[in-house]
Structure 1
Amino acid sequence: MGYRRRAREQALQLLFSMDLRGDYSGQMKNLFCHAFIPEDATITLFETLVQGILDHREVLDRTIEQFSSNWRIPRMGRVDRNVLRMAVFEMFYLPDIPDKVSINEAIDLAKKYGTRDSGGFVNGILDSIRKHRETGREGILENP
């Protein structure tokens, strides 16, 4: 398993825990990192993902809701919504990672940690966002 995959898994575990407790504080992050020390190779991406998602969560959630038919963020499973947040964050804010890579990684994480329907659900939303971004249309997506 590559270091980026491990960093994504660790970030997903922390974000899931924060989501479950409703606590997005630095203290939660410190507790997690104390118990599950991220590896040296993964720490930079782990930190970037977690802090970026926390900083931009409102924009990420609005974007996800715009492309999910009848699925509001609170109604989504915790794994699905955090996987989606991570992938959309990568698509918007990490230009060195191709959108298709972010989408494939998100689908794999959703299949591994979510329900049997999570992979398809995540794929549908992320592919719609990717297609919209490729057309260059303005007006729906927030500018990051």
Structure 2
Amino acid sequence: MASNRHLSRIIVLQTLYEFDFRGDAGDNSADIDEILNRNLERYKSAVDDKKFAKNMTISVHKLASSLDEQLQPLAPDWPIAQIARVDRVILEIGAYELQHHPDVPPKVVINEAVELAKSFGGENSSKFINGVLGSLLKQLKPEEFGDKSKIKKKKVAKKNKLAD
């Protein structure tokens, strides 16, 4: 069985995906709280921390536009409107969690998003999600990644010395 937080993320994904899908289909009666409560009810025996799922769902829903604006430059060849709906929702969840849940290690956030992509996305979704969220993490925490170009230059210089 999936871990409790993992299952909560699945519920968040399903809720946001359904709300988005119904809205695009012209269903103006779609209610995010109603969809979330139905999904939580379905998994009530397996989810202990309903608050995590509720807070994340409502927050990602409210911040979706600003999250999309942040994500767009990280995948310039893929306008947000062209990204598969499930991939976009997974990216929004991951981007939100990277920025608003410092209690969760960034590698865990990205790994969880990749696992969601493997379960619900297309063939290349997991690689795409990993790349975009990895780029976002580097942008959010540049001090943790340093200037890798200096390291690369040293390796090339050392290699060239050995070749001489």
**Pairwise TM-score range, normalised by the shorter structure:** 0.7 to 0.9
Structure 2 residue matching 1:56: 3-state secondary structure: helix
Q: How does 1:20-31 map to 2 (within 5 A)?
A: 20-22=21-23, 27-31=31-35
Q: Aligned pair in 2 of structure 1 residues 95, 57: CA closer, same or farther (>3 Å)?
A: same
1:51 aligns with 2:58: yes
Relative to structure 1, the CA distance from residue 127 to residue 43 in structure 2 (aligned partners, 3 Å threshold; closer, same or farther) is same
Q: How many residues in Structure 1 have an aligned counterpart in Structure 2? A: 136
Please identify the structure whose Cα radius of gyration is greater: 2
Q: Deviation per CA, 1:87-125, whole angstroms, max 9, x where unpaired?
A: 000011111111111100000000110101100010110
For residue 71 of structure 1, the aligned residue among 78, 87, 90 is: 78
The farther-off stretch of 115-124 and 26-35 is 26-35
The structure carrying a bigger helix percent of its residues is 2
Number of the residue aligned with 2:8? 7
Structure 1, unpaired ranges of 5+ = 137-144
Could you say which structure has the greater relative contact order, defined with CA pairs below 8 angstroms and 6 or more residues apart?
1
Q: Note the C-alpha offset of 1:21.
A: 1.2
State the TM-score, normalizing by the size of structure 1.
Answer: 0.86
Q: 1:35 to 1:82 in 2, by over 3 A?
A: closer
What runs of 5+ residues in structure 2 fail to find an aligned partner?
Answer: 144-164
Q: How does 1:1-144 map to 2 (within 5 A)?
A: 1-22=2-23, 27-34=31-38, 37=41, 38-39=43-44, 40-135=47-142
Query: 4+ residue runs of structure 1 moved beyond 4 angstroms?
Result: 23-26
* Percentage of matched positions with identical amino acids: 29
- One-letter amino acid matched to 2:17: F
